[in-house]
Amino acid sequence: MNGELHQMLLITALGNGNLISGADASNTELEHTEYIEVRFIEEGGGKAWSWPEWLAELKNNGCRRLMLNGMPSATSWSTGILQSNGMPNGVTSLGTTGESLWKADWHMDQYGSRTKWKVTYTEQKLYDGQKGDREFLPLSVLSEKLDVALRQIGDLAYTIEESFWSDHFFEPAKSVLNGTGTAAQLSFHLPDIYKDQARTLLNAVYKAWVFGGMGSWNDSPPYSAYQHDREQEFNTISARLYETLVQCARGAVNSVVLL
């Protein structure tokens, strides 16, 4: 899973659990450790908060929900980097006193032989003309769309003699999605405010995530597609799966926004 997307999923899901039902939102991936430091800064560079401090501040300011924003561009699948496509990538806080987009900046520091990620979410207050399009599709629609995308890319994998990817990722993800396979086990607990259908969809997304660097779908399969004269089809179907995975992940964690 893309690290940026994974962290925003964590923030949105755990934050919503805390804001809506008071569920424990503690998670080492969002707190200060020897490997990562996450902080949130108000617009203008004023106050800075840790993860638990930020949630408390949001509650005090009347925030009721968090919403994951952004969709990838058509070329994002080949780089594994979330590039905006005319829409902001970040987490939006929704409340009685207005809305803010919290956009992340990732910076890596070196401490001897150890590296540490410093992630800063900076606030940008949103006004009517800045809110952009918002998509709230039923989980059943998203699940059907992902099933189609998995079937297409699975068939392509066999055609270009890359059956490993279908056998170990695409088919198992379809089984998770259809309730006949073992869940992929998210690396975080989705709060109880979420429906089982959201958990299933998000687990399928994590299981089907094959994009990245060496040893991923971006590595040898493109050359296999080229050898089988399927390069254009490969690019189109890969981009479709990537976009669908991000759309479904976003839809899953945003499924409580309208509650």
Question: Which tens digit of pLDDT belongs to each residue from 21-35?
Answer: 999 999 989 988 888
Q: pLDDT for 58-108, tens place per residue?
A: 999 999 999 998 765 556 666 544 444 433 478 999 987 789 999 999 888
pLDDT at 203: 93
- Mean confidence (pLDDT) of the chain: 87
Q: pLDDT for 156-192, tens place per residue?
A: 999 999 999 999 999 999 999 998 877 666 778 899 9
- Tokens read off for 254: 């945003």
Question: For the residues 105-133, what does the mean pLDDT come to?
Answer: 82
CATH 3.40.50 assigned to domain 3-130? The reply is no
- pTM score, whole prediction: 0.90
- Confidence at 49, pLDDT banded by 50, 70, 90: very high
pLDDT at 143: 97
Question: For the residues 196-200, what does the mean pLDDT come to?
Answer: 93
Most confident of 36-50, 76-90, 210-224: 36-50
The residue with greater pLDDT, 17 or 132, is 17
d(Cα 88, Cα 130) in Å, to the nearest integer? 9
- Tokens read off for 257: 């926004």
d(Cα 88, Cα 40) in Å, to the nearest integer? 17
